[in-house]
Amino acid sequence: MASLGVNIDHVATLRQARYRADPFSVLAEPDPTEAARLAEEAGAAVVTAHLREDQRHIQREDILRIRRIVRRLNLEMAFLPEMIAFACELRPDEVCLVPERREEVTTEGGLNLLGQEERFRPGIARLRAAGILVTAFIDPVEAQVRAARAAGADCVELHTGGYANAIRVEDQEKEIAKQTAAADLAHSLGLEVHAGHGLTYRNVRRYVARVPHLHTLNIGHAIVCRALWVGWQKAIREMVGLAAGE
Ligand code: PXP
């Protein structure tokens, strides 16, 4: 059973496909801020957006606008000094630290925190001192969970791509076992457990039924796709129900 964080990046992707030159023109649509407002109205507990360095979808201005209207914002960002400074000023409710490579289509793997705990510690402490819940997006590997704890994170977001991409039932079971072990360990270390990446209307029910201690699932692409057929708020309401284990 988990709450739903709705990732609105791909609403911005659609806008940028047509209005890259002037995303805040009066003509530009769809508006990610309106998507965020409607997502909360439909039951999303959190609005999640990734401000990438190249601003390929969400723009800095989007984040400023969304911050003003949502109840709970989770800002995904790279661990970079300028992003940490931006977040400390903006004060989103949550920051999720993700690896970022320019050439990737989407976030491909979790952060590698092994041996990096001391490098991450001061930046994470700064974010936490600004009142922000800090999450590390990691692969479901026990050493990464321990490293996230050692670096001072409040929370881990388990990368569910391995589970989402497994086609054979035995491969899915192996991934569920990894997710379960990572979630159990995180919980025992006092970390909140989030999960996301590649979760869909087809695979989320089993995930939620099997993996313990889930607090929030962050889901984007599947919701945007389903919204094309049934509408944004219905797609979100359906996923809120699935995340809750209904
Ligand atoms: N969580 C993190 C850290 C992500 O980077 C992403 C993708 O941007 C998601 C969750 C959502 O993934 P998806 O769009 O596949 O649902």
Q: Quick: pLDDT tens for 138-162.
A: 999 999 999 999 999 999 999 999 9
From 218, 219, 221, 239, mutation site for ligand 1 pocket: most ligand atoms within 8 A of C-beta: 218
Q: Which residues contact 62 (CB under 8 A, 6 or more apart)?
A: 12, 23, 32, 33, 49, 51
Give me the pLDDT at residue 102, please.
64
Distance of CA 85 to the CA centre of its chain: 20
Alpha carbon distance 75, 32 (integer Å): 14
Residues in the chain: 246
Q: Which residues have C-beta within 8 Å of that of residue 78, sequence separation ≥ 6? A: 52, 53, 97, 98, 99, 100
- For the CA of 164, the nearest atom of ligand 1: 15
Please tell me the predicted confidence (pLDDT) of residue 108: 73
Whether 50 lines ligand 1, by a CB cut-off of 6 Å, is yes
Report pLDDT for 104. 67
Q: Show which residues are catalytic.
A: 50, 76, 197
For ligand 1, is residue 226 a contact (CB within 6 Å)?
no
Q: What is the pLDDT of residue 100?
A: 83
Q: What is the pLDDT of residues 103-137, one digit of tens each?
A: 666 667 899 999 999 999 999 999 999 999 999 99
pLDDT given for residue 103 in this prediction? 66
DSSP 8-state symbol, 92: -
The structural domains of the chain, with segments of one domain joined by +, span: 3-243
In this prediction, the residues of the chain whose per-residue pLDDT falls under 70 are: 102-107
The CATH class that applies to domain 3-243 reads alpha beta
Instruction: Verify whether ligand 1 is closer than 6 Å to residue 199 (CB atom).
Output: yes
Q: What is the pTM of this model?
A: 0.96
